[in-house]
Amino acid sequence: MGVTVAIPFVRVAKENNPNLKAGVDQAEAYYKSMIVSFASARRVDPQVRLILVSNESAPPKFKVALDQFEVETIVVEFLHRPPAGFTPAFEGSLFLLDALNAVDDDQVILMDPDVLVLRPLADVVDALKGKVGVLPLPYEPDRVVNGLSRRQAQRIHVQLGGQDSLADHYGGEFYVIPREHMSAVRSNAAVAWSAALDSFATKSPHFFTEEHVLNFALRFVPRESLSTHVKRVWTAHSHRNVAPSDQGLHAWHLPAEKDRGFSAMFDSVMDQKSWFWSSDEDVFVRQASKVMGLSGRSTKRVVLDLVGPLVHRLRAYAK
């Protein structure tokens, strides 16, 4: 059985990357992050196919690293680039729809460039038993997420022929799509995208991000939760959801670590004699946990993580 791990990356304006700090070089942060992500997948599975799907060739200094870990690059046009004013944030997320159409294998894993793989992803694929792997996010029905609530999405789903039930919301950082369901996902995503453009043109409620589009498309295929294998782990000063059980997962999505933990881990990734490559599974997870701020935080970082939520609330109150 062939397994492909693909990471979509498209160059967009800095303001469309709210998880990056001001002053951070966007390309530098993203390429270092995705190289660490690819290397972590290669570390646990020498046979897995790794693909970077992008609208540009990698800069020479990063292409060397991608070649070292046998990462293929597929360059495609950003056909799903939204019109001006279409989405409030994460414009580049819609490039995932282009990546979806560019990659084929028995099992395709689409993941964000800030996912750290801890254990073999083949175990995750086996556990799904042929279903599409999704990461449910338990948002309240009326909470607006990137422009749209689950209840609002439900109304759109019904208009497009979907079920008249509250729409699930799946995180866009990790999908596992078997070959037998890929065609249905692609065709229904195309329906959702076309409808979103039409609705935007008439100033009607519409899907804003790749998550919204795929939340609709995935209603037509059998799905299985990835929650026991993958987690969106927040390590920011303003928000932490770290739990002891995170140590047993197969992968961490670390959206607050692109310019911090992933950058710090990059040199170890490029050194074949470092702990990154020489450690057994348990040691690797413990060390990665320290680098990514899940455990063993420095005194400075602990203080920032304690004060961060208070500052966040005060700023919100001031508004």
Do residues 199 and 205 lie in contact, with contact meaning Cβ atoms separated by under 8 Å?
A: yes
More confident residue, 12 or 112: 112
pLDDT band at 11 (very low <50, low <70, confident <90, very high): confident
Give the long-range contacts of residues 19-26, CB within 8 A, separation 24 or more. Answer: 19/114, 19/255, 19/256, 19/258, 20/258, 20/259, 21/259, 24/259
- Eight-state DSSP code of residue 213: H
Q: 267-276: which pairs have CB atoms within 8 A and are 24 or more residues apart?
A: 269/35, 269/36, 269/39, 269/65, 270/65, 270/68, 276/39, 276/43
Token reading at 46: 């020498």
| Percentage, residues of the chain above pLDDT 70 | 89
Q: Name the DSSP class of 14.
A: G
> Do the beta carbons of residue 86 and residue 219 sit within 8 Å?
no
Confidence of residue 309 (pLDDT cuts 50, 70, 90): low
Cα separation of the two ends of the chain: 53
> Read out DSSP for 85-141?
TS-SS-GGGGGHHHHHHH--SSEEEEE-TTEEE-S-HHHHHHHHTTSEEE-B----T
> Tell me, what's the pLDDT at 199?
97
Q: Are strands 49-54 and 71-75 parallel, antiparallel or unpaired?
A: parallel
Helix extents (H) in the chain: 26-44, 60-68, 96-102, 121-128, 150-159, 179-201, 210-217, 261-269, 275-278, 281-291, 299-318
Angle at 56 (CA atoms; ends 52, 61), nearest 5 degrees: 75
The tens digit of pLDDT for each residue in 149-185 reads 999 999 999 999 998 999 899 999 999 999 999 999 9
Q: What is the CATH topology of the domain spanning 3-291?
A: Spore Coat Polysaccharide Biosynthesis Protein SpsA; Chain A (3.90.550)
Query: Nearest to residue 218, comparing CAs of 251, 173, 176?
Result: 176
- Token pair in block for residue 104: 């084929």
Distance CA 227, CA 3 (A): 20
Summarised one tens digit per residue, pLDDT across range 99-142 is 999 999 999 999 999 999 999 999 999 999 999 999 999 999 99
Residue 66: CA atoms inside 13 Å, Cβ hemisphere, count? 23
Q: Give me the sign of the Cα torsion angle 242, 30, 23, 291.
A: positive
18 band by pLDDT with thresholds 50, 70 and 90: very low
Q: What is the residue extent of each domain of the chain?
A: 3-291
pLDDT, mean over the chain: 92
Residue 47 near residue 74, CB atoms below 8 Å:
no
